[in-house]
Chains A and B, each alone.
Chain A
Amino acid sequence: MSAEPPIAAPTSAAAPAPAAEPRLRRGFWLSGRGAVTAVPYFWLFLFFLVPFAIVLKISLAQPIIAQPPFTPLFGLDGSLQASLDNYRFLWEDSLYLVAYLNSMKLAAISTLLCLAIGYPMAYGMAKAPPSIRNILLLLVILPFWTSFLLRVYAWMGILRNNGLINNTLIWLGVIDQPIQMMNTDFAIYIGITYSYLPFMILPLYAALERLDPDLVEAAQDLGCKPWKAFATITLPLSIPGIVAGSLLVFIPAVGEFVIPSLLGGPDSLMIGRVLWDEFFGNRDWPVASAVAIALLLFLVVPIMLFQRMQLRRQGS
């Protein structure tokens, strides 16, 4: 659900381009090229924009005990019955704000962890001999061949009190009592960092692999020690990769539901779980929809900032 925004975002950026060429635009949707382009747009319209409009509509309604469990947008007399009550409620009840902020915190720290682990890995891959680069790339993608859910369950087996880590440490005599790792924020960090690491590595690898090795040699030739050459040349030139990877990790991590449910504790409140509880626990569809829309707005802002930055970079 939360993965949609980055797909939708480019449409806004692409819109001004055809406007600059009005001659091209007239017959565009009828041409073969236009037809090919239309298919994904139609898909997005049908399965993103329409559901989004429905969710938006529900978020403006009131809950009732009926089928469906919310008031219609127009009353029997045809009057508009929309209200922002649900949004006001989100703002007034601190539970939601805390959940949003907690999700942001967990996602931000996980993103930093992914960056800290992913950058050296991507760097190593980009510097590896070309013959083994593809094998390394394959190894990064390999976990996707197993179900995401199964991999999170595997972590439960590793982290729980009589799991792999605790048993090993007790057997080695390092500890007497098992360390509580399951149902903590620590477990969520492990889960998110592990699950989303490839999304960080791939764009970083792409950015670093494209980097001309001559540039680093030139910096050294001009008097930079290797670490300085990294800081002044490699790092600044890989910023687009860092930003892309961070967004790819941060955005889905904010709305993450499975990992906090399975690995997190009862007190680790994340917005994805709040959303689930509102829909299925409270059956309060309008508030749940408002939570979803608010989450979307939270995430669209950083994406738009990123887009602006990209455009400025291209413009300069």
Chain B
Amino acid sequence: MSGTASSSVSTQWNRPAEPPFIRIEGVVKRFGDFVAVDGVDLEIYRKELFCLLGGSGCGKTTLLRMLAGFERPSEGRIYLDGVDVTDAPPYERPVNMMFQSYALFPHMSVEGNVAFGLKQDRVPAPEIRRRVTEALELVQLGPFAKRKPHQLSGGQRQRVALARALVKRPKLLLLDEPLAALDKKLREHTQFELMTIQEEVGITFLVVTHDQEEAMSLSTRIAVMDRGRIAQVGTPTEIYEYPATRFTADFIGSINLFEGEVTGREGEELRVAVPEIAAELRVRSDRELAVGTAACVAVRPEKISIARQPLDGLDNALQGRVRDLGYLGNLSVYRVELPNGRLVKVTTANTRHSTDREVDWEDQVHLGWRPAAAVVLTE
């Protein structure tokens, strides 16, 4: 599903002819001395499902609240569909928000909650009824229209909140940690539902989340935020496979970082000497880095092969001893200790149906990966 979604939309942000739907220009937000958002520039395109991803206090929620109109930027402008909305109050923006707490009105029925926004716009009653029914149908809550919020389960409440935010057909829908309050099974299900609904209604979604898995599976593009700044913007694949900074590399998934310095180039490959493990690693990269530049080689655990016998054909080879082994069912996670004490994380997919392990605790093992499997980072 995500495949079809991204292939139909992915062309849009690579095509300069399409003007960005939302433009955030040099936005800064200060609370007293504290800088919550520190100069963010971002362009989001029509019908994207865009994710702001970051840890707590990275400024993602503040940025969302500025888009909703609950906070005014200290500096910078925000444009929505070509209109400067920086100073517009929340009730005058074609933007709706789904709150993390859902913020359903406890004294109104499901129907009343969904109709609330339309009533504020003085939509005629028959049309309100029609659109509320439509919206409840969309989130499969038709039979629950007369219930009060406290009579619903968490998942149902979440869908009421979604229907209430969608029914006004906003140009932009903001979702603050939309799945955080749901349990794991429901979260996975709802994730796909959210994507289906987004495709169906064709509204631009902006999701704030701290959950990288959620961000990866939902979004067309992700902006990783760190201390009020955008660390990297890209598709989930770009962010995961080609992280631009140590922060992004470390934040998304897990990764092994080897600090060293560039010693030279050989064709497509850079050589980076890593004194910590007394080895010279090869990384495929087209970046022009001068000899002596401090650089970091980053390798994802699943890109590293592990075996008891020497591995053939892998340019980067290390040896060590298995210190820890975690069996996760579909994956096994190894922590391998190199002779100098450095731990390297390796994961393998358990593709064979067997209870015997090829590699076990305390085994002496060989590790290896191809130069194209790693990236070199300087920031």
What sequence of 0s and 1s flags, for each residue 127-168 of chain A, a beta carbon within 8 Å of any chain B beta carbon? 000000000000000000000000000000000000000000
Stretch in B52-60, B115-123, B188-196, B319-327 with 4+ CB within 8 Å of A:
B115-123
Closest approach, in angstroms, between the C-beta of B79 and any C-beta of chain A? 19
Cβ–Cβ < 8 Å partners of A232 in chain B:
116
What sequence of 0s and 1s flags, for each residue 87-98 of chain B, a beta carbon within 8 Å of any chain A beta carbon? 001110001110
Say yes or no: B90 contacts A220, CB within 8 Å.
Answer: yes
Closest approach, in angstroms, between the C-beta of A270 and any C-beta of chain B? 37
Closest approach, in angstroms, between the C-beta of B357 and any C-beta of chain A? 50
Closest approach, in angstroms, between the C-beta of B2 and any C-beta of chain A? 28
Secondary structure of the A contact surface, majority rule:
helix
Closest approach, in angstroms, between the C-beta of B312 and any C-beta of chain A? 59
Closest approach, in angstroms, between the C-beta of B198 and any C-beta of chain A? 19
The listed residue (A215, A217, A237) touching B70 by CB distance below 8 A is A217
B107 at interface (Cβ–Cβ under 8 A)?
Answer: yes
Provide the bound-state CA to CA distance between A285 and B262, in Å: 105
Say yes or no: A214 contacts B148, CB within 8 Å.
Answer: no
B106 at interface (Cβ–Cβ under 8 A)?
Answer: yes
Cβ–Cβ < 8 Å partners of A223 in chain B:
91, 117, 120-121, 168
**A218-B99, A222-B116, A222-B168 known; A236 and B107 CB under 8 Å?**
yes
Cβ–Cβ < 8 Å partners of B89 in chain A:
220
Say yes or no: A224 contacts B120, CB within 8 Å.
Answer: yes
B164 at interface (Cβ–Cβ under 8 A)?
Answer: yes
B103 at interface (Cβ–Cβ under 8 A)?
Answer: yes
Say yes or no: A212 contacts B148, CB within 8 Å.
Answer: no
Nearest B residue to A239 by beta-carbon distance? B107
Closest approach, in angstroms, between the C-beta of B97 and any C-beta of chain A? 5
Say yes or no: A214 contacts B101, CB within 8 Å.
Answer: yes
What sequence of 0s and 1s flags, for each residue 214-251 of chain A, a beta carbon within 8 Å of any chain B beta carbon? 11011111111100100011001100000000000000
What sequence of 0s and 1s flags, for each residue 106-133 of chain B, a beta carbon within 8 Å of any chain A beta carbon? 1100000000110011000000000000
Provide the bound-state CA to CA distance between A224 and B117, in Å: 8
Cβ–Cβ < 8 Å partners of B101 in chain A:
212, 214
Nearest B residue to A316 by beta-carbon distance? B148
Say yes or no: A219 contacts B107, CB within 8 Å.
Answer: no
Cβ–Cβ < 8 Å partners of A217 in chain B:
68, 70, 90, 99, 103
B105 at interface (Cβ–Cβ under 8 A)?
Answer: yes
Closest approach, in angstroms, between the C-beta of B375 and any C-beta of chain A? 41
The listed residue (B96, B105, B106) touching A221 by CB distance below 8 A is B96
Provide the bound-state CA to CA distance between A86 and B116, in Å: 57
Cβ–Cβ < 8 Å partners of A222 in chain B:
91, 96, 116-117, 120, 164, 168
CB within 8 Å of A: which B143-176 residues = 148, 164, 168
Say yes or no: A224 contacts B91, CB within 8 Å.
Answer: yes
Provide the bound-state CA to CA distance between A222 and B120, in Å: 7
Cβ–Cβ < 8 Å partners of B95 in chain A:
221
Nearest B residue to A233 by beta-carbon distance? B105
Say yes or no: A219 contacts B97, CB within 8 Å.
Answer: no
Cβ–Cβ < 8 Å partners of B107 in chain A:
236-237
Provide the bound-state CA to CA distance between A261 and B95, in Å: 60
Closest approach, in angstroms, between the C-beta of A233 and any C-beta of chain B? 6
Cβ–Cβ < 8 Å partners of A233 in chain B:
105
Provide the bound-state CA to CA distance between A233 and B121, in Å: 17
Nearest A residue to B92 by beta-carbon distance? A223
Say yes or no: A221 contacts B116, CB within 8 Å.
Answer: no
Say yes or no: A214 contacts B91, CB within 8 Å.
Answer: no
Closest approach, in angstroms, between the C-beta of B122 and any C-beta of chain A? 10
Nearest B residue to A220 by beta-carbon distance? B90
The listed residue (A215, A236, A316) touching B103 by CB distance below 8 A is A215
Provide the bound-state CA to CA distance between A220 and B92, in Å: 9
CB within 8 Å of B: which A256-287 residues = none
Provide the bound-state CA to CA distance between A237 and B149, in Å: 14
What sequence of 0s and 1s flags, for each residue 56-74 of chain B, a beta carbon within 8 Å of any chain A beta carbon? 0000000000001110000
Cβ–Cβ < 8 Å partners of A219 in chain B:
105, 116
Nearest B residue to A223 by beta-carbon distance? B120
Cβ–Cβ < 8 Å partners of A215 in chain B:
103, 105
Closest approach, in angstroms, between the C-beta of B370 and any C-beta of chain A? 50
Specify which of A215, A220, A223, A224 lies most central, judged by the most chain B CB atoms within 10 Å of its CB.
A223
Say yes or no: A221 contacts B68, CB within 8 Å.
Answer: yes
Provide the bound-state CA to CA distance between A217 and B105, in Å: 11
Provide the bound-state CA to CA distance between A218 and B176, in Å: 12
Provide the bound-state CA to CA distance between A223 and B69, in Å: 12
Specify which of A217, A222, A316 lies most central, judged by the most chain B CB atoms within 10 Å of its CB.
A222
The listed residue (A220, A225, A228, A237) touching B106 by CB distance below 8 A is A237
CB within 8 Å of A: which B332-378 residues = none
Say yes or no: A214 contacts B103, CB within 8 Å.
Answer: yes
Closest approach, in angstroms, between the C-beta of A206 and any C-beta of chain B? 16
**A221-B96, A228-B120 known; A212 and B91 CB under 8 Å?**
no
What sequence of 0s and 1s flags, for each residue 289-317 of chain B, a beta carbon within 8 Å of any chain A beta carbon? 00000000000000000000000000000
Closest approach, in angstroms, between the C-beta of A221 and any C-beta of chain B? 5
Cβ–Cβ < 8 Å partners of B116 in chain A:
219, 222, 232
Provide the bound-state CA to CA distance between A228 and B90, in Å: 13
Cβ–Cβ < 8 Å partners of B90 in chain A:
217, 220-221
Closest approach, in angstroms, between the C-beta of A283 and any C-beta of chain B? 54
Cβ–Cβ < 8 Å partners of B117 in chain A:
222-223
Provide the bound-state CA to CA distance between A218 and B103, in Å: 6
Closest approach, in angstroms, between the C-beta of A103 and any C-beta of chain B? 34
Closest approach, in angstroms, between the C-beta of A222 and any C-beta of chain B? 4
A-B contact pairs, 20 of them (CB 8 A): A214-B99, A214-B101, A218-B97, A218-B99, A220-B89, A220-B90, A220-B91, A221-B70, A221-B90, A221-B91, A221-B95, A222-B116, A222-B120, A223-B168, A224-B91, A224-B120, A228-B120, A232-B116, A236-B107, A316-B148
* Pairs of residues from A and B, 9 with the lowest C-beta to C-beta distance, nearest first: A223-B120, A222-B117, A214-B103, A218-B103, A220-B90, A223-B91, A214-B99, A221-B97, A214-B101
Given A220-B90, A228-B120, A236-B107, 18 new contacts (CB under 8 A): A217-B68, A218-B99, A218-B103, A219-B116, A220-B69, A220-B89, A220-B91, A221-B68, A221-B90, A221-B91, A222-B91, A222-B96, A222-B168, A223-B91, A223-B120, A223-B121, A225-B91, A232-B116
